[in-house]
Amino acid sequence: MNLPPRCQQGADFIYNYPETGRPLRALTGMARAAGIDREEFMPVSRTRYTAGPLAHRAIRFVATALLLLALQPVQAAGPIDARLAGDLVEHHAPEVAVSGNVIVGVMAASASRALAQDLLAIRAPDSGSTTICLKVTSRDGTYTSRNEYSSDSAPAVLRLPYRSRLEEVLEQYTGKPGHIAITASRGNCVQSAPADYYLPSVVDAKTGELDSAPLSIFINGFDATDVYYRIAGANEISDCHYIEEGRHTAYNFSCEIAEVPGGTSLPLTVEIMREVYGRELEPLTIRILATR
């Protein structure tokens, strides 16, 4: 193998090979990342070419790494982090907060998992600056959080950093399907009944792609005996399901949209209809700005 003459002469392997220092620093970082010990990789004991096998390993490692990099498919950029306004505000108290909102969750089914892994993201289709109000509510109403995020990078997949200080509490809910509801609405958190929602989902940190899990809409039906939903453009009215298990203070109906009907344009308009023993209450219409 052809090594630089200085190396062959037992010169300082660290600083003299190759001639410039820059590639060597990169090489050092890669070696560290690969778990190769500095002493092993960098024979500072100025041995002669007897240090050859180590040098061989280092060079083979670099070559392999470069080859792998070259073979990597071109991938999308990762998600962009949205800015959280201030510190994350969250509450967990036995005193249950009884909310007045009918829509308590508009989310991909995987979003609860994303919360625990801090991989919660949305696709913001708007251009320019975006403000997002993220609300998280546990079904029993004991855990709540309300935070505002902003970004100037839209349209993009925006990760909403959620570094909870109540990880253990949160895991009790995120570990069980349907026990936590999330909404990411457009605009600030002052508005009481927003109409436009992003779809929080789990994001692949490397590819920046959002999970394509089914949609869940969680409803606080109050006195409603039946809740239905209809997607605009489709005639069919589908049932939302009453949550029978345990306490359901914050929301008591879930509408599962397994698949958005083909040909439905975005934003997705969903009409929520409630009935009390057959008597209709005022329907609600929400728009889901992007589904993936």
Partner 1 sequence: MEQTTEAPQQPGTGTSGTDNGQASKKQENSLLSSLKELWQNIRNSRLLTKFILLLILLMLAFTAWRAWVTPQWIFSVKASTGIIELQTPADGEIRWRVNDAIICSRGELQSPDAKLSKLKQTDSPCGSTAWSGYRFRDPEQTLVLNGSFRVLIERRSDGALYLSLRDHRAGSQADITAAANTDGDTPAKPPPQARLTFTDGTPAIVLGNNGRLKINIIWPGTNKDTSGFSTDRVFPFTGVTTIGRDINWTGTSMLQEGTVNVYTADDSPDKREQVDEAELLLGDQLRLENALRDDELIPPKGFIRYQPGGDALDVIAFGAADRVRIERYGDNGYNFRPGPLSKLLHDPLFIFVLTAFAGFISLVGTVDAMCSTRSDCK
Contact positions with partner 1 (CB under 8 A) in 253-282: 275-280
Measured from the CB atom, the residue of 153 and 249 that comes closer to partner 1 is 249
Under the criterion CB under 8 A, does residue 193 sit at the interface with partner 1? Answer: no
Taking the chain, what is the end-to-end CA distance rounded to the nearest angstrom? 51
Bridge pairing between strands 196-198 and 201-202: unpaired
Under the criterion CB under 8 A, does residue 166 sit at the interface with partner 1? Answer: no
Distance separating alpha carbons of residues 257 and 272, to the nearest angstrom: 12
Encoded tokens for 172:
């009790």
Beta carbon of residue 184, minimum distance to partner 1 (angstroms, whole number)? 25
Contact string (CB under 8 A) for partner 1, positions 12-51, x = contact: ----------------------------------------
Among 81, 226, 256, 271, binds partner 1 (CB under 8 A): 226
Helix (H) and strand (E) counts in the chain: 7, 17
Bridge pairing between strands 284-288 and 196-198: parallel
Encoded tokens for 206:
């490397």
Residue type, 74: V
Query: Quick check: bond before 267 cis, omega within 30?
Result: yes
Contact string (CB under 8 A) for partner 1, positions 87-126, x = contact: -------xxx-x-x--------------------------
Interface with partner 1 by CB under 8 A: which residues?
94-96, 98, 100, 140, 142, 220, 222-223, 225-226, 239, 241-242, 244-245, 247-249, 275-280
